Amino acid sequence: MTTPPSTPRLALVTCADFPELHPEDAPLIPALAERDIAAEAVIWDDEQVDWSVYDMAVIRSTWDYSSRRLQFIEWARSVPRLVNPPNVVRWNSDKHYLQALEDHGLAVVQTTWLEPGRGYDKRALHNRFPAREDFVIKPAISAGSVGAGRYTATDANSRRYAIEHAMRLLAEGHSVMVQRYMPKVDLHGEIALVYFHGTYSHAMKKEAALTDVGEVAVQDGADVETVERYKATPAEIEAGQAALAFARARIPGRSLSSRPLAYARVDMVPAGDGEPVLMEMELVDPRLHLSVGRRSLDRFADSLAAELRMGPDAANIDLA
Ligand SMILES: Nc1ncnc2c1ncn2[C@@H]1O[C@H](COP(=O)(O)OP(=O)(O)O)[C@@H](O)[C@H]1O
Ligand SMILES: [Mg+2]
């Protein structure tokens, strides 16, 4: 089959581990073909690729970039037209954005931040851990639960392991997040809400990743996470939308008047009172679980076709 010269070319960006895309995203290729868009899987760090041949590149399964985030940002800036754009990639790939959102009044999972190079000793770390219940230690730059561990505050051994874990991450140059373990996650799971251009599409419920105390995830869990379809409540859908509005106002180079992001996933967990609080917002390479929910795939394909038609978003200047 030859492609007529006017057919737009779209790169669906992946990593070397998924050269043909993740199976959930592969059906995007025929779905986009139905919309007269020639889409293909392209590996982000393949040096042979000439990104200028694509009318648009859409990040999908680039799940190997966390350990080389700066290289990934540099790549993002080099692509003529990237969705989501490089300023969003930069902002969202370091969980410090949660601090910025919390500072502006959004309900996020409460976090104590430990920064590398501050020379904390064991006692200083101990003092920053919660006194009761379980807590989580995780790096600020990570994905797929890598480097996250759960500990029990009242168990001296567990606390010692937590100190060692935090020390190790800090020594490796990571910023470290200390959070209370949200106990409702064990029973209710985590809710992931997907939005295309700001419009709610579908939701999943994800099982708790840190079920065992003391275990630190070393392997990427993104591909093995257990999810099921979930019917989000209006309050949850609205909370996700509020979080996205906060983000639009905070991302350097964007504003509340800029175009809503082509895709976004908002992950929330129930707090003690049952109200949803933000665990994280995935604006770079979220699994979108397009097979969940009727028409999720079509809605995403429609959004990408619309994004292509609208042309580059003027609000995407990378200011850093
Ligand atoms: N404070 C917490 N309370 C309960 N579970 C947590 C907490 N922090 C992390 N987790 C578990 O670990 C998983 C990964 O953490 P998350 O912050 O979402 O990082 P990642 O970017 O790796 O997805 C979550 O999906 C959740 O199951
Ligand atoms: Mg997560």
Q: What are the tens digits of pLDDT across the range 187-209?
A: 999 999 999 999 999 999 999 98
Q: Residue 55 C-alpha to ligand 2 middle, in angstroms? A: 30
The residues facing 14 across adjacent strands are 43, 61
Average pLDDT rounded to a whole number, residues 66-92 = 96
Report pLDDT for 285: 97
Report pLDDT for 5: 67
Q: Which ligand is nearest to the CA of 142?
A: 1
Q: Residue 287 C-alpha to ligand 1 middle, in angstroms? A: 15
Q: Residue 79 C-alpha to ligand 1 middle, in angstroms? A: 31
Between CA 266 and CA 302 the distance in angstroms is 20
Report pLDDT for 264: 98
- Sorted by sequence, the CB contacts under 8 Å of residue 97 that are 6+ apart come out as 91, 247, 250, 281
The residues facing 299 across adjacent strands are none
- The number of residues making up the chain comes to 320
Pair type for strands 134-139 and 176-180: antiparallel
Report pLDDT for 214: 75
List the chain domain ranges.
9-90, 97-107+184-209+220-294+302-307, 111-180
Between CA 47 and CA 12 the distance in angstroms is 16
Which residue's C-alpha comes closest to atom 14 of ligand 1?
145
Atom of ligand 1 nearest to the CA of 145: 22
Whether residue 15 has pLDDT greater than 90: yes
Give the number of C-alpha atoms closer than 13 A to the C-alpha of residue 280, restricted to the C-beta side.
20
Whether residue 224 has pLDDT greater than 90: no
Between CA 115 and CA 119 the distance in angstroms is 9
The CATH number that domain 111-180 falls under is 3.30.1490
Whether residue 256 has pLDDT greater than 90: no
Class of domain 97-107+184-209+220-294+302-307: alpha beta
Question: 141, 220, 279, 289: which to mutate for ligand 1, most atoms within 8 A of CB?
Answer: 279
Report pLDDT for 227: 86
By CB atoms closer than 10 A (0-12, 13-18, 19+), residue 132 is: exposed
Report pLDDT for 3: 62
SS3 235: helix
Report pLDDT for 194: 98
Q: Residue 143 C-alpha to ligand 2 middle, in angstroms? A: 7
Report pLDDT for 249: 84
Q: Residue 145 C-alpha to ligand 1 middle, in angstroms? A: 6
Q: Residue 296 C-alpha to ligand 1 middle, in angstroms? A: 25
Per the CB < 8 A criterion, the answer to whether 178 and 129 are in contact is yes
Kindly list the distances between the CA atom of residue 196 and the CA atoms of 118, 174, 248, 264, 279, in Å, as whole numbers in the listed order.
41, 32, 14, 7, 19
Average pLDDT rounded to a whole number, residues 165-184 = 95
Report pLDDT for 215: 65
Per the CB < 8 A criterion, the answer to whether 133 and 183 are in contact is yes
Each residue's pLDDT tens digit, 123-137: 999 999 999 999 999
Class of domain 9-90: alpha beta
Report pLDDT for 118: 94
Buried b / exposed e over 196-207, threshold 16 CB at 10 Å, is bbeebbbbbbbe
The conformation of residue 36, written as its DSSP 8-state character, comes to: T
Question: 112, 135, 138: which to mutate for ligand 1, most atoms within 8 A of CB?
Answer: 138
Atom of ligand 1 nearest to the CA of 267: 18
Which residue's C-alpha comes closest to atom 20 of ligand 1?
143
> Hey, which of 64-73, 212-221, 251-260 has the most confident mean pLDDT?
64-73
Q: Residue 127 C-alpha to ligand 1 middle, in angstroms? A: 22
Each residue's pLDDT tens digit, 272-313: 888 899 999 999 999 999 998 779 999 999 999 999 999 887
Cβ atoms within 10 Å of 57's Cβ, excluding its own:
21
79-88, 148-157, 203-212, 252-261: range with lowest mean pLDDT:
252-261
Residue 212's pLDDT band, with cuts at 50, 70 and 90, is confident
Ligand 1 pocket by Cβ (under 6 Å): 109, 136, 138, 142-145, 148, 179, 181-182, 185, 190, 206, 208-210, 267, 279-280
